[in-house]
């Protein structure tokens, strides 16, 4: 396994941190990971290991205001800055791996950004994997989201704790402890981020009907951050033929670090395998018993 860290220039000339891993054998394809709010590129180790074992190079980015990237924690000026950053991230992966299939995987807020980018650049993305996509109602207090909307213009950098409990992501005690003690992880969101996210989510609820990129959605049945009902509804409304939905009983928000993480990794690898080999599924809905 080879590991590399580096930086690339995002929107507004912001230098964003990323890291990548390559298997010892020939690389079959590349997967780019975009973490969610408060998360960072170092919190997907189990999933990275599974992808490497299957022969897939894996990249992961720290969004602006996250991890080792600069910026106020949990702040953006414009939603399109996040989409632009993912576009630059995509260009980096593509330039490093010419001719190889490239997939994008997003978690939560990261899944929202990835889906938005895929709508804009459907000609270049081989497939999208969305873990708990934050498109519909979310578990952050409506009062806090309302404050964000109200303050967005007059005090855009006003910041609040999301109020999400540390155990909302995983049922694994070791991950709950790791989250609480991780200096790169945060629980902040600014007024402008809240307002920009709400606007983007509302727009995407309609525009995702036009998605043309193969799609895998993964959702935990007990996720308190992204409502499973909203994700199921989103999936049912997307008219895309090559789409797949998997729901994990008892699963929480961070499926890649939850009790079901191994099954999640296997499912992702299996889906990527089929699309690298040209064997995409036709509209499959799967609930684990």
Q: What is the mean pLDDT of residues 204-232?
A: 94
| Mean pLDDT, residues 167-192 taken together | 95
The residue behind tokens 């939603």 is 79
DSSP 8-state code for residue 169: S
Give the CATH number of domain 2-287.
3.40.50.1820
Q: For residue 95, is pLDDT > 70?
A: yes
Residue 179 pLDDT greater than 60, yes or no: yes
Cα(174)–Cα(257) distance, integer angstroms: 10
pLDDT of residue 289: 52
Mean pLDDT, to the nearest integer, of 275-285? 73
Q: What residues are paired with 129 via a beta bridge?
A: 105, 216
Mean pLDDT score across all residues of the chain: 92
Q: Can you give the pLDDT at residue 288?
A: 61
Q: Which of the two residues, 181 and 1, has the higher pLDDT score?
A: 181
Q: How many residues does the chain have?
A: 289
Task: Name residues whose C-beta falls within 8 Å of residue 206's C-beta, 6 or more positions apart in sequence.
Answer: none
Quick one: tokens of 267? 């499912």
């Amino acid at each position: 396994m080879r590991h590399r860290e580096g930086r690339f220039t995002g929107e507004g000339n912001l230098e964003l941190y990323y890291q990548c891993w390559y298997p010892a054998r020939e690389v079959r394809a590349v997967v780019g990971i975009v973490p969610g709010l408060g998360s960072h590129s170092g919190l997907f180790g189990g999933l990275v290991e599974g992808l490497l074992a299957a022969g897939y190079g894996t990249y992961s980015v720290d969004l602006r205001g996250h991890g080792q990237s600069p910026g106020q924690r949990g702040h953006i000026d414009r939603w399109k800055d996040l989409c632009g950053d993912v576009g630059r991230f995509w260009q980096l992966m593509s330039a490093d791996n010419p001719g190889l299939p490239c997939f994008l995987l997003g978690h939560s807020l990261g899944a929202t950004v990835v889906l938005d980018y895929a709508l804009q650049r459907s000609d270049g993305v081989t497939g999208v994997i969305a873990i708990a996509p934050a498109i519909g109602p979310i578990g952050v207090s409506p009062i806090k989201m309302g404050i964000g909307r109200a303050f967005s213009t007059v005090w855009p950098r006003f910041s609040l704790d999301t109020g999400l409990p540390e155990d909302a992501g995983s049922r694994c005690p070791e991950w709950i402890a790791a989250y609480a003690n991780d200096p790169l992880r945060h629980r902040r969101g600014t007024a402008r981020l809240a307002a920009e996210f709400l606007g983007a989510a509302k727009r995407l609820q309609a525009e995702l009907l036009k998605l043309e990129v193969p799609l895998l959605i993964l959702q935990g049945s007990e996720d308190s951050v992204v409502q499973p009902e909203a994700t199921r509804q989103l999936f049912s409304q997307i008219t895309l033929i090559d789409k797949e939905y998997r729901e994990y009983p008892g699963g929480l928000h961070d499926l890649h670090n939850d009790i079901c993480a191994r099954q999640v990794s296997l499912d992702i690898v299996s889906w990527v395998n089929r699309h690298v080999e040209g064997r995409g599924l036709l509209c499959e809905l799967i609930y684990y018993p």
